[in-house]
Amino acid sequence: MRPRTVRVAGIGAGTFGLGGVALLLCLTGAPMTQAQAPAKAQKAPAAKKEAAKPAETQRVLQLRDPFRSLIQRGEEAGGQPLPPGKRGLVITQLSVDGIVVTPTEKIAVVNMRGRNRAYFLRERDEVYNGFVARITEDAVIFRERATDAYGQTFEREVTKTISGLGAKR
């Protein structure tokens, strides 16, 4: 006679797995906000006790989004929208479409991701996080003001070349 092997499968295994997950969720509970903690600590008079009970049973969860970065940059902060026009151009999101050279000045034609518009920049024009330092015949040099993770501000030079089919990279 052969020994029988018993396999736990189907409804029994699924119920056991779901029961374990439910038990863990019940034991951990949801964190309370600071506004709710003092309300439970204070004892209300008997007349107000029934009125306050439904408010105590409701929990307000204020959890942060786990997929958002903890470090927020100025243009990503979401607190304020970027200003319109040249002053709202972010250097890291710019692409140089062309440069116009005249005998008196050089003009860079740029556009920013997300905006369906061309902008004409000259030397010393202010943008959101810096200004145009120089314009050469094939590139635009920006001075970008940035803040590191410790809150100290510094300036760096960013060079953007002409983007296109025949551009040197």
pLDDT, tens digit, 9 for 90 and up, residues 43-86: 555 555 555 555 555 566 778 888 887 776 544 445 678 888 99
- Confirm if 105 and 113 have CB atoms less than 8 A apart: no
Instruction: Give residue 20's pLDDT band: very low, low, confident or very high (50, 70, 90).
Output: low
Q: Give the highest mean pLDDT range of 14-18, 79-83, 131-135.
A: 131-135
- How close are the terminal C-alpha atoms of the chain, in Å? 78
What is the per-residue pLDDT for 49?
A: 53
d(CA 80, CA 78): 6
- Write out the residue range of the structural domain in which residue 91 sits: 85-161
Closest CA to 86 of 116, 109, 123, 120: 120
Which is more confident, 87 or 72?
87
- Domain count of the chain? 1
Q: Element (H or E) spanning 20, and its range? A: helix 11-28
What is the per-residue pLDDT for 61?
A: 72
In this structure, is residue 39 part of a structural domain?
A: no
In this structure, is residue 74 part of a structural domain?
A: no
Q: Give the global pTM.
A: 0.52
In this structure, is residue 123 part of a structural domain?
A: yes
In this structure, is residue 80 part of a structural domain?
A: no
Q: Phi/psi of residue 64, each to 5°?
A: -80, 160
Across 38-46, average pLDDT: 52
Q: Element (H or E) spanning 97, and its range? A: strand 94-101
Closest CA to 115 of 130, 125, 102, 128: 128
Residue 169 reports pLDDT greater than 60: no
* CA 21 remoteness from chain centre: 32
DSSP 1: -
In this structure, is residue 33 part of a structural domain?
A: no
What is the per-residue pLDDT for 93?
A: 92
What is the per-residue pLDDT for 51?
A: 53
Strand partners, 55: none
For position 157, which CATH number holds? 2.30.30.830
In this structure, is residue 102 part of a structural domain?
A: yes
Across 115-126, average pLDDT: 94
In this structure, is residue 16 part of a structural domain?
A: no
DSSP 81: P
In this structure, is residue 107 part of a structural domain?
A: yes
